[in-house]
């Protein structure tokens, strides 16, 4: 079984230090541990990565086309700016879920629009680390259903 790629974009390496009132006090390592535990319960492996570089996310999404069974993507601020990530997700053609720790709709207007949302199966936001766990659960269901169908 191919792993689920859990891809994290800019500034997510600063979790735990960065605006804890918004993003919580847990680190990206803590997020990875929770994702790993959830995926294991569901019989999936994960490949968990973070980059501050938009093009690297694009390349990882391309790679997912053949190497991953699905993608959970928190693209950070690139969510609100990147047509390149939208196009990469369309090209990848694997199940994908957009994830955010914070409720972007409760925040500044510039966070209300996502270029990624139209290119993914679903969007989960505002639930802290639970957003990631829910994305993995949703992907596991979609991948399993696709196999049966
Ligand atoms: C993370 C970021 O870095 C922001 O740029 C997004 C997202 C929201 C999050 O909530 O996980 O606007």
| Per-residue pLDDT tens digits for 124-146 | 999 999 999 999 999 999 999 99
> How many domains are there within the chain?
1
Separation of 13 CA from ligand 1 center, angstroms? 12
- 3: CB partners within 8 A, 6+ apart: 44, 45, 46, 47, 67, 68, 69
Task: Write down the mean pLDDT value for the chain.
Answer: 97
Token readout for 34 is 């929770």
Domain residue limits at 97: 4-148
Please tell me the distance from the alpha carbon of residue 42 to that of residue 86, in angstroms, as a whole number. 28
The band of 148, judged by pLDDT with boundaries at 50, 70 and 90, is: confident
Write the residue with the smallest CA distance to atom 2 of ligand 1: 76
Which residue among 74, 128, 135 is best mutated to probe the pocket of ligand 1, counting the most ligand atoms within 8 A of its Cβ? 74
Q: CATH number for the domain including 106?
A: 3.40.50.9100
Render pLDDT for 67-90 as a digit per residue (tens, 0 to 9).
999 999 999 999 999 999 999 999
Output the pLDDT for position 73: 99
């Amino acid at each position: 079984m191919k792993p689920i790629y859990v891809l994290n974009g800019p500034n997510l390496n600063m979790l735990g230090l960065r605006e804890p009132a918004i993003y919580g006090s847990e680190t990206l390592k803590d997020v990875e541990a929770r994702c790993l535990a959830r995926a294991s319960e569901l019989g999936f492996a994960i490949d968990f990565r973070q980059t501050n570089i938009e093009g690297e996310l694009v390349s990882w999404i391309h790679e997912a086309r053949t190497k991953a069974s699905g993608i959970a993507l928190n693209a950070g601020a690139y969510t609100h700016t990147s047509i390149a990530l939208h196009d990469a997700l369309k090209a990848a053609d694997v199940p994908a879920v957009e994830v955010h720790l914070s409720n972007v709709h409760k925040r500044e207007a510039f966070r209300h629009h996502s270029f990624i949302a139209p290119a993914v199966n679903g969007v989960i936001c505002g639930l802290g680390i639970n957003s990631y766990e829910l994305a993995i659960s949703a992907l596991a269901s979609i991948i399993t259903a696709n196999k049966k169908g």
